Amino acid sequence: MKDYYKRSFAINSPIFVILLIGTLVLGVMLRLDISRPAVLSSQHITTLSRFALTPKFITSASLFFCWVEFILSILTILALYFLGQNMAGKVAGICAAFSFAVYPYFITNLYTINIFIVFSFVLYLLSMYVGVHTMSKFWNLLAGIFFMISCIIEPAIIILGILPYIYFLIKQRHVATLNSMLFFLIGIIVILGVFGLLALMGNNLANFIPIGDTLFSFVDGIKAFFSNPLLYITGTIWPYLKNNFAYPLVSGTYSYLHYFIIVLSILGLLYSFVDENVRILSIILIFMLIQAFLMPFDYVILFLMFILLASFMVDKVVKDVLEL
């Protein structure tokens, strides 16, 4: 029996292709049940206007943007497979793709701005990981581009962008990593320059990337914590953790899946400090949590990180059991 499963889950086994296709089909079917909104939300208009789109155009193209969000959600399933595969293995890729396909938060929030955040951030992680390991100028440039797009959508993540490159620079201690970081920064500058110029021409610079508000919120959070740590923990940090970890109790669906992923992600986080393949994910998650405790932070990316670390843990268990 063990030899059978070992052959089935071998690296070149066609079962992964079959599972990926099945996951994509399942993701499409689950998302077809979600009703499209008649009009886009104010958050859509505020965020998409940062890309030099007028509110009038955004409102008139509601159906178009709904279809874009639907397609991006399906493409995210595919991107997560390749991200998991590159970081840990094909089992991790399938687990990450499947978890995203059936995760209730990502299904119920299909027609929100969150899907743009998740899609661009997954592509950033994928490009960054491939870029720092292959020292490819192209992939590091893409990482900078996708990260800056993520920042335009969700400015709160701007502190996290350079973190993986600093980690790999300390770890590898190679001049090529500095070169990778340079092309990452070039990608950031390209997107910042293009859309910043368009925002300036459209008199929308104040709404482009509210970095000042982000940094001030972070500083205010630090001041509030040190002024009364106990009150801040009980009044801010604990409710935030409760709202994140107990989300299905509010939505009433898939609670067991959510808690299973949370437990696996905690185990994956702990194990990543022994196995360095996905250690950078744990570092990013820890910094995200610290940042989230100190300032407003959309937990959509936290759920994404939980999925990735849980998938890594499943991949590790499968490999150890089957001795792959």
Percentage of the chain surpassing pLDDT 70? 83
Q: What is the CA radius of gyration of the chain?
A: 20
With cut-offs at 50, 70 and 90, classify the pLDDT of residue 11.
Answer: low
Interatomic CA distance for residues 126 and 119, integer angstroms? 11
Percentage of the chain surpassing pLDDT 90? 20
Contacts for 316 with CB less than 8 Å, ≥ 6 apart: 88, 268, 271, 275
Q: How many domains does the chain have?
A: 1
SS3 34: coil
- Residue type at 260? F
Interatomic CA distance for residues 225 and 217, integer angstroms? 12
Q: Out of 200-209, 288-297, 301-310, pick the least confident.
A: 200-209
Calculate the alpha carbon distances from 168 to 122, 164, 260 in Å.
Answer: 19, 6, 30
pLDDT (tens digit, 9 = 90+) per residue, 91-126?
Answer: 899 999 999 998 888 888 888 888 999 999 999 999
pLDDT (tens digit, 9 = 90+) per residue, 193-232?
Answer: 887 777 676 666 555 565 555 666 667 777 877 888 788 7
Of 97, 39, 100, residue with least CA distance to 64:
39
Model pLDDT, residue 82: 92
Q: 89 — phi, psi (to 5°)?
A: 160, 175
Q: Does residue 7 register a pLDDT over 80?
A: no
Between 157 and 1, the higher pLDDT residue: 157
Q: Does residue 165 register a pLDDT over 80?
A: yes
Q: Does residue 321 register a pLDDT over 80?
A: no
Interatomic CA distance for residues 271 and 283, integer angstroms? 12
Interatomic CA distance for residues 28 and 34, integer angstroms? 10
Q: Give Cα 184 to chain centroid, integer Å.
A: 18
Of 288, 315, 321, 290, residue with least CA distance to 302:
288
DSSP for 37-95, please give it: PSS--HHHHHHHGGGT--HHHHHHTHHHHHHHHHHHHHHHHHHHHHHHHHHT-HHHHHH
Q: Out of 20-29, 147-156, 247-256, pick the least confident.
A: 247-256
With cut-offs at 50, 70 and 90, classify the pLDDT of residue 1.
Answer: very low
Q: Does residue 86 register a pLDDT over 50?
A: yes
pLDDT (tens digit, 9 = 90+) per residue, 239-254?
Answer: 777 766 665 544 445 5
Model pLDDT, residue 246: 60
Between 144 and 195, the higher pLDDT residue: 144
Calculate the alpha carbon distances from 273 to 160, 191, 290, 313, 323 in Å.
Answer: 19, 34, 18, 12, 21
Interatomic CA distance for residues 175 and 290, integer angstroms? 30
* Domain carrying residue 227: 2-322
Q: What is the pLDDT averaged over residues 17-39?
A: 88
Of 108, 29, 42, residue with least CA distance to 74:
29
SS3 213: helix
Interatomic CA distance for residues 251 and 232, integer angstroms? 27
